[in-house]
Amino acid sequence: MDFDLVIRDGNVVTATEEVFCDIGIKRGRIAAIGDKLPKGEREIDADGNYVFPGGIDSHTHIEQLSSSGIMCADDFYTGTVSAAHGGTTTVISFAAQHKGDSLPKVLTDYHSLAKEKAVIDYSFHLIISDPTEAVLKDELPELIRNGYTSFKVYMTYDALRLDDYQMLDVFSVARREGALTMVHAENHDLIRWLTDRLLEHGATKPKFHAVSHPRLAESEATSRAISLAEFLDAPCLIVHVSAEEGMEAIQRAQRRGLKVYAETCPQYLFLTAEDLDQEDMAGAMCCCSPPPRDKAAQEAMWRGLADGTFQVFSSDHAPYRFDESGKLAQGEDTPFNKIANGVPGLEVRMPLLFSEGVLKDRIDLHRFVELTSTRAAKLYGMFPRKGSISIGADADLVIWDANKEVTIAWENLHDNVGYTPYEGKKIRGWPLQVFSRGRLVVDNGELQVEKGSGEFIPREKPSSAEPLGRTSPEAELIRRSGFDDLW
């Protein structure tokens, strides 16, 4: 037999093409694409359905201890099982450094968790919260060289945030070593100051989380991060953009030709601040940072997805249960600033974007594929192995039924969170079959693979992270004075 598997008669859609054809798979890779391919050992009929590259969710928090010591609800089993049911075949999750941690040890720990449990492929972005001399000089450069070619930094959260000096330190390592820096951009002191005023006045309910993280906090920090990155000629990616103000700062930079990339997430398309204002503490389920805004902000995010401001659409799956182990550390009395931040979403990420984006003509099919898979593979150094349907690529594929009507209900999802912020939402389109390296992972809603069968994917240095070669006038003067190795 020429092929281990042939997926026949699918409407095969990539970021640039749509072709009615067969896909032949051998030893986990795509071996042929064409018409009337010879018979495979296994045959799957995709007639009447789309075939997309498997989704890549490049922003997930799985089995991660938060900076305030709260454990995510999903481990690498439930997290990846849930991802696979929604059409995602690769997750890039965070390996979080807490103060005092050595980075190699952090990664060893995350590897041992994921290896035992993941059912789809995975990679890690680092979170750098303690950029000591050892981290900057030795650990980070070595890890970048070993395939951890992106990391996230925070401008807010007491235990995670870097000040501008530290941001410059990490940007300069990223630039020199060829890594992409992801930035959580919010002005820490504005949030802290507002939070103190609200609490002084007894305003503790979840709804006050939204007002304590104003859009200006996001746009100011976004502009500042971009300025620091620009000074050092270091590309950066602004994660989880929530509103037009932040998006405009990104667009200004992009218009000037800077390598500034951006991501938005389902919560900024489908939730608003009003979802934080519910009976009892239910609004806590929708507390994330930056917070959901309003309908106008949602429309702005849709525009940014359509016009290319955003390159990736990730879930920022940050799963916390609605109890004292997660969202409500202090029970019903938990003030908004102590509610664990984050919402679940990795299983519904692709179905939501397909239904509300493609079927409502906000984006076309190619943009859908680009946003949910291809561009993440490129930005984070996995292309063309991941994110493409091409000869030699991993056979990570989703057969997608565009007509299936689904009412989102947590009891039908596969995460361990206990709720979904999208409960009751009616959508159309859901994966029928999901393949990872040619293995049928999910067949009509049934998991087909063993715990631990996912593989770690080391990543290349992406071209997205290559400096532009543009220096600021001051940096140029410094260079001309003979100080070439100042940073």
Footprint of Zn ion (CB under 5 A): 184, 316
How many CA atoms are closer than 13 Å to the CA of 234, on its beta-carbon side? 30
Burial of 480 (0-12, 13-18, 19+ CB in 10 A): exposed
Report the nearest approach of ligand URP to the CB of residue 157 (Å). 7
Taking the least distance from each CB to ligand URP, the nearer of 63 and 316 is: 316
Nearest Cα to Cα of residue 14 among 379, 398, 431: 398
* Cβ nearer to ligand URP, comparing 342 with 429: 342
Q: Which does 436 bind (CB under 5 to 8 A by kind): ligand URP, Zn ion, none?
A: none
Nearer to Zn ion, 287 or 395 (CB): 287
Q: Confirm or reject binding of residue 339 to ligand URP (CB under 6 A).
A: no
Q: Where are the beta strands (DSSP E) in 329-478?
A: 397-407, 426-436, 439-443, 446-447
Contact map string, positions 13 to 52, toward ligand URP, x by CB under 6 A: ----------------------------------------
For ligand URP, the binding residue among 67, 289, 337, 388 (CB under 6 A) is 289
Of 83, 168, 97, give the one whose Cα is nearest residue 126: 97
Range 355-374, binding ligand URP (CB under 6 A): none
Query: Which partner from the list Zn ion, ligand URP, none does 288 bind, CB cut-off 5 to 8 Å by kind?
Result: ligand URP
Question: Measured from the CB atom, is 60 or 311 closer to ligand URP?
Answer: 60
Q: What is the rounded distance in angstroms from the CA atom of residue 28 to the CA atom of residue 479?
A: 50
How many residues does this entry show for the chain?
487
Question: Residue 14 or residue 341: which is nearer to ligand URP going by CB?
Answer: 341
Q: Are residues 243 and 213 in contact, defined by beta-carbon separation less than 8 angstroms?
A: no
Least CB distance to Zn ion at residue 289 (A): 6
Place of tokens 């030709």: 257
Please state, as a whole number, how many other Cβ atoms lie within 10 Å of the Cβ of residue 99: 10
* Bridge partner list, 13: 18
Residue span 235-254 as binding mask against ligand URP, x where in contact by CB under 6 A, dash where not: -----x--------------
Spatial separation of the C-alpha atoms in residues 429 and 127, rounded to whole Å: 34
Among 271, 262, 274, 280, residue whose Cα is nearest residue 225: 262
- Residue 340: CB minimum distance to ligand URP, A: 8
Which residues within the stretch 452-481 sit at the binding site for ligand URP (CB under 6 A)?
Answer: none
Token pair, residue 427, equals 């959508």
Q: Which residue is nearest to Zn ion (CB)?
A: 184
Instruction: Mark residues 177-206: x for contact with ligand URP by CB under 6 A, - for none.
Output: -------x----------------------
Q: Using CB distances below 5 to 8 A depending on partner kind, what does residue 271 bind out of Zn ion, ligand URP, none? A: none
Q: Which is nearer to ligand URP, 184 or 367 (CB)?
A: 184
Of the pair 24, 292, the CB lying nearest ligand URP is at 292
Tell me which of ligand URP, Zn ion, none is bound by residue 233, counting a contact when its beta carbon lies within the kind-specific cut-off of 5 to 8 angstroms.
Answer: none
Q: What, of Zn ion, ligand URP, none, does residue 341 touch, CB below 5 to 8 Å by kind?
A: ligand URP
CB nearer to Zn ion: pick between 63 and 316 = 316
Q: What is the DSSP string of 216-274?
A: HHHHHHHHHHHHHHHHHT--EEE-S--SHHHHHHHHHHHHTT--EEEEE-THHHH--GG
Going by the DSSP 8-state scheme, the letter that residue 275 receives in this structure is G
Residue 240: CB minimum distance to Zn ion, A: 6
- Residue 374 sits at the vertex; the CA angle it makes with 45 and 237, to the nearest 5 degrees, is 155
Residue closer to ligand URP, measured from CB, 48 or 69: 69
What is the b/e burial string over 321-338, where b = at least 16 CB atoms within 10 angstroms of the residue's CB?
bbeeebbbbeeeebbbbe
- Report how far residue 112's alpha carbon sits from residue 139's, in angstroms, rounded to the nearest whole number: 19
Which of 8, 29, 61, 437 contacts ligand URP by CB under 6 A?
A: 61
CB nearer to ligand URP: pick between 156 and 388: 156
Residue type, 245: E
Least separation, in Å, of the C-beta of 341 and ligand URP? Answer: 3
Q: Cα(27)–Cα(53) distance, rounded to whole angstroms?
A: 17
Q: How far is the CB of 306 from ligand URP (least distance, A)?
A: 23
DSSP state of 456: B
Residue with tokens 């002005």: 187
At 427 the three-state DSSP class reads strand
C-beta closer to Zn ion: residue 184 or 378: 184
Tell me the closest approach of the beta carbon of residue 96 to ligand URP, in angstroms.
9
The yes or no reply on residue 318 touching ligand URP (CB under 6 A) is yes
Of 246, 304, 342, 357, the residue at the interface with ligand URP (CB under 6 A) is 342
Of the candidates 238, 189, 244, 237, the residue with the CA atom closest to the CA atom of residue 217: 189
Select the residue interacting with ligand URP from 316, 394, 401, 415 (CB under 6 A): 316
Measure the CA–CA gap between 263 and 247, rounded to whole angstroms: 10
Closest contact distance (angstroms) between CB of 317 and ligand URP is 9
Among 97, 219, 341, 372, binds ligand URP (CB under 6 A): 341
Please give the Cα distance from 305 to 325 (Å, whole number): 35
Can you give the binding site for ligand URP, defined by CB under 6 A? Answer: 61, 184, 240, 288-289, 316, 318, 341-342
